[in-house]
Structure 1
Amino acid sequence: MARRADQILFPTDSGLYCPDGDFYIDPLTPVPRALVTHGHSDHARPGHGAVLATRQTLEIMAIRYGEDFTAQKQVAEGPLRLGKVTVSFHPAGHILGSAQILITPDDGPRILNSGDYCRTPNPVCLPWEPVDCDVFITEATFGLPVFRHPDPLAEARRLLASMAEFPERPHLVGVYALGKAQRLIALVRQAGHQEPIALHGALQRLCDYHIAQGIDLGPLVPATDAKGAQLVLAPPSAFASPWVQRFRDPVLSYASGWMTVRARARQRGVELPLVISDHVDWPQLTATIRELSPQEVWITHGAEDGLMRWCAMEGVPARPLRLVGYGDEPE
């Protein structure tokens, strides 16, 4: 008799655990073997005995934590046999190197852990790939109907329009160092801005890595040497530090799906909110569940109750995993 999904993968204090393969997915604490979906620090932590991930995720973790972030690294290439299950990694469309992880047991349902994923085309990573599964584990970061993200290229054009309207004011945009910074650069290049873009020092190494991976980001200069650069990217935390005081009368901006919530923009003192997200919005989230048509949906974090209610109305069995420790990457 085939076993239930919750006998093959289940939540623990350290995160989702698969006893048949003796591994955890995106564990919250150090474990003997971790399978990591992507390099954001709320999913990729140092100190594990062994880490299995895409080559780019392993290299990103080494940049962020040092080469000794784990005792053993293994690149996920093709289906791999771990104990009594087969695992495979599939593009998630979230950031460079991000992956969904499919667990195929010998005697049970196929379980797909999507990690963080996005279906809007992203110029700095591989597109999301649909994967047949029986159980779909999804995030619900923007799991409420209010979240309907606009075209990110149109948001980049809004930024350039503001720069044209206020040519004497530097535009400071808050972006996460991994993924959002590089995506916004690629978008403004696509929108026609070919002038040098200034970077806060915290963004430089990961931008250099993307360039080494063949992603053209155009001319970039350090913010400390940005004589006359009108567009400056920095981590959001820089806006609350003395660093920002070097710029005279800046237009403060922030690129995030959370900028849909105007109260968040006001709380941060953001003059130009840019709704650019690396996660699925509500229409994409619900469309994905319909398209994959899984027998069951598990929800890892975000607006769990809203998605639970939608699944109930659609007749899709669903359960919240209520895992803590996931969400936006710490700044």
Structure 2
Amino acid sequence: MIRYEDLLRPTPEGLYCPPGDFHIDPVAPVARAVVTHGHSDHARSGHGTVLATPQTLAIMAERYGEDFAGRREALAYGERTERDGVEVSLVPAGHVLGSAQAVIRWRGLTMVASGDYKRRRDPTCAPFEPVPCHVFVSEATFGLPVFVHPPAEDEVARLVQSLRQFPERAHLVGAYALGKAQRVIRLLREAGWERPVYVHGALERLNRLYKREGVELGPLAPATGLPPNSLGGEVVIAPPSATQDRWSRRFADPVRAFASGWMLVRARARQRGVELPLVLSDHADWPELTATFAELRPEEVWITHGREEGLLRWCELNGQAARALRLVGYDEEDEESGPEGEDQATERS
């Protein structure tokens, strides 16, 4: 009788598929890797072969250089490939551009490694697609009942309201370079903000990549070479750490904002000196996580990188078999130090 661990098992390098001889989002260089998305805690350089969506491969090349792996294998959403009798396909995860769930099938067994995901609408990436499976591997970044995130549109409306209320002040929004920054910009456009959005240099390359992939961001301008007290009444998007350093002093009495699911925890906002916390996450909150489990009803849920205990308890109370993988090496809310310098200002939501 086939056991789940015969197809996927946790190892120090990450989830490993013995019959296919590959890892999923390995945290150290391996011979063959399946990468779910481009955040640097999941997409590392130095692997022999990387299989991912075309967008994720493009993001990795942008961040690490064209030689980030010995070989690339692009697999579009819905396509299937086979490795030593193991079928692999990628379906949207709704996290960031190109993010995917890895669907692994072998001898009648289906396991889904979802990577990072969210269930709510995001105008910058394909929405999450549920896949019936025997085992669903889920993140738990916001795996506590307290984490109920408001609608993203409402949070961006608060930003627009503040711009109208304080037209003499620059609004400096901290947002991670991959996914969050582009989502904030796109939501601003949908809210009717037509003026140029000013961006920190660490965001420019990924913004261009998003545009090449068909995500319309509207007029953007560099937030560089400006005189003191600049950009009153304008929006500036920057890596979170840049909003706290000397770079930010050029702006007119800035309103410091931060777009992150962790802004629901007011103590974190105070610690960062955030005047306008925007609760905007690229991860599933508690209702999304538990609704996904209830919708899929897999034979087992495997829970990893985050608040595992809360979700384990929910599963126990709801008759869902579950276990914690306790994988290490994955950051919360993508608070990453990216190789292209988004944390060299210094700079995972």
Question: Are 2:169 and 2:231, in contact at CA under 8 Å, matched by a contact in 1?
Answer: no
Q: Pick from 287, 295, 307: which aligns with 1:303? A: 307
Partner deviation per Cα, 1:163-214 (whole Å, 9 max, x = no partner) = 1000011000000000000000000110010000000000000001111111
Question: Are 2:142 and 2:306, in contact at CA under 8 Å, matched by a contact in 1?
Answer: yes
Question: Are 2:24 and 2:34, in contact at CA under 8 Å, matched by a contact in 1?
Answer: yes
Give RMSD over aligned pairs.
1.1
1:242 deviates by 1.5
**Alignment map for 1:151-166 (pairs within 5 Å):** 151-166=151-166
Question: Are 2:312 and 2:322, in contact at CA under 8 Å, matched by a contact in 1?
Answer: yes
1:256 deviates by 0.5
1:84 deviates by 2.4
Equivalent position amino acid for 1:156 in 2: V
CA distance in 1, matches of 2:305, 2:12: 15
Name the counterpart of 2:340: none
Name the counterpart of 2:58: 59
CA distance in 1, matches of 2:31, 2:188: 42
Query: What is the SS of the residue equivalent to 1:74?
Result: strand
Name the counterpart of 1:120: 120
Matched, 1:133 2:133: yes
Equivalent position amino acid for 2:120 in 1: T
1:110 deviates by 0.9
For structure 2, the 5+ residue unaligned runs are 337-346
What percentage of residue pairs aligned between the two structures are identical? 59
Query: What is the SS of the residue equivalent to 1:301?
Result: strand
CA distance in 1, matches of 2:331, 2:69: 23
Partner deviation per Cα, 1:247-273 (whole Å, 9 max, x = no partner) = 232100000111010000000000000
Query: What is the SS of the residue equivalent to 2:82?
Result: strand
Equivalent position amino acid for 1:209 in 2: L
Query: What is the SS of the residue equivalent to 2:157?
Result: helix
CA distance in 2, matches of 1:284, 1:225: 43
Q: Pick from 260, 269, 292: which aligns with 1:265? A: 269
Name the counterpart of 1:99: 100
CA distance in 1, matches of 2:222, 2:252: 17
CA distance in 2, matches of 1:304, 1:236: 27
The TM-score with structure 2 as length reference comes to: 0.92
Query: What is the SS of the residue equivalent to 2:56?
Result: helix
**Mean Cα deviation higher: 312-321 or 228-237:** 228-237
CA distance in 2, matches of 1:243, 1:249: 13
Partner deviation per Cα, 1:121-165 (whole Å, 9 max, x = no partner) = 100000110111010000011011111111101111100000100
Question: Are 2:173 and 2:243, in contact at CA under 8 Å, matched by a contact in 1?
Answer: no
**Alignment map for 1:162-173 (pairs within 5 Å):** 162-173=162-173
CA distance in 1, matches of 2:132, 2:302: 15
Equivalent position amino acid for 1:217 in 2: L
1:301 deviates by 1.0
Partner deviation per Cα, 1:52-77 (whole Å, 9 max, x = no partner) = 00000000000000000001000114
1:241 deviates by 2.2
For structure 1, the 5+ residue unaligned runs are none
Matched, 1:9 2:8: yes
Query: What is the SS of the residue equivalent to 2:258?
Result: strand
CA distance in 2, matches of 1:324, 1:13: 8
Equivalent position amino acid for 1:148 in 2: V
Matched, 1:33 2:32: yes
1:215 deviates by 1.1
CA distance in 2, matches of 1:120, 1:298: 22
Matched length: 329
CA distance in 2, matches of 1:140, 1:279: 9
CA distance in 2, matches of 1:225, 1:315: 59
Partner deviation per Cα, 1:64-110 (whole Å, 9 max, x = no partner) = 00000001000114111111211110000000000001110125x31
Equivalent position amino acid for 1:296 in 2: E
CA distance in 2, matches of 1:209, 1:85: 32
CA distance in 1, matches of 2:210, 2:291: 30
CA distance in 2, matches of 1:100, 1:322: 19
CA distance in 1, matches of 2:93, 2:209: 19
Matched, 1:206 2:226: no
The TM-score with structure 1 as length reference comes to: 0.97
**Mean Cα deviation higher: 23-32 or 222-231:** 222-231
